[in-house]
Amino acid sequence: MSNGDMFEKNHDEIDFEFLGNIRGKDWRIQTNIYGNGSTNVGREERYGLWFDPSEDFHQYSILWTENLIIFYVDNVPIREIKRTKAMGGDFPSKPMSLIATIWDGSNWATNGGKYKVNYKYAPYTAKFSDFILHGCAVDPVELSSKCDDDAAESKTPSGITLDQRRKMDNFRKKQMQYSYCYDMTRYNVPPPECVIDSKEAERLRAFDPVRFGGSHHHHGKRHRRRSKSKLKDDDDVDVSFM
């Protein structure tokens, strides 16, 4: 999701991205958010997938409320972001449009840019099914909501259930390959909303001891739609659900 067409210098984004794939290797996805043009502070997380998204349809969902963002894969929450004062305007808050694109991100998306798109396999396609969008329409000029806020709020989940949290913790334990909160080569001090989990840090350190080496100090308490899609066979292409 993005509003870059309306707010060029201070846009918001909520990103669900399939990173470039090397044929025969496991697929990876990335989640990220920007608020108020804060593109200098990336909040990326990357995960391996336990399936090939080019073989069948799966559900990829984003719950976005005034104070909460949750990413889901097949109804399993994989990441939770809570709005805090420490984030300031970095939490997406302005009306956004939903965009689904295939774009060439191979200068960074496939093994850090090691492998580029091979256009002899073009054209690339993505198919979508059972698209569902719950939300309030917003006038693009007046930026005023056109729905009953109380009715919309009553249908919106307030958070993650205990069973969902168990599934999310299990997913992150097995599948998470990168989190900005632990990237010592990028941030000497983690962004203020990060809460360092020692077990999570240890797993990532084993995955990449250079990037996730060293230690971070705990920052205290975190100031912490569902659409089915199927990817056709492609080579090193980034598919972005924003």
Give the catalytic positions in this structure.
Answer: 13, 17
The number of C-alpha atoms within 13 Å of 12 and in the hemisphere containing its C-beta is 15
Sheet holding 28-34, edge to edge: 100-103, 238-241, 13-18, 28-34, 45-48, 176-179
The SS3 assignment for 227 reads strand
Residue 132 near residue 226, CB atoms below 8 Å: yes
Residue 10 backbone dihedrals phi, psi, to 5 degrees: -140, 50
Both ends of the chain: CA-CA distance in Å?
4
> Which residue, 134, 152, 50, is CA-closest to 98?
134
* Torsion angle (degrees, nearest 10) of CA 139, 142, 144, 147: -40
Distance of CA 239 to the CA centre of its chain: 12
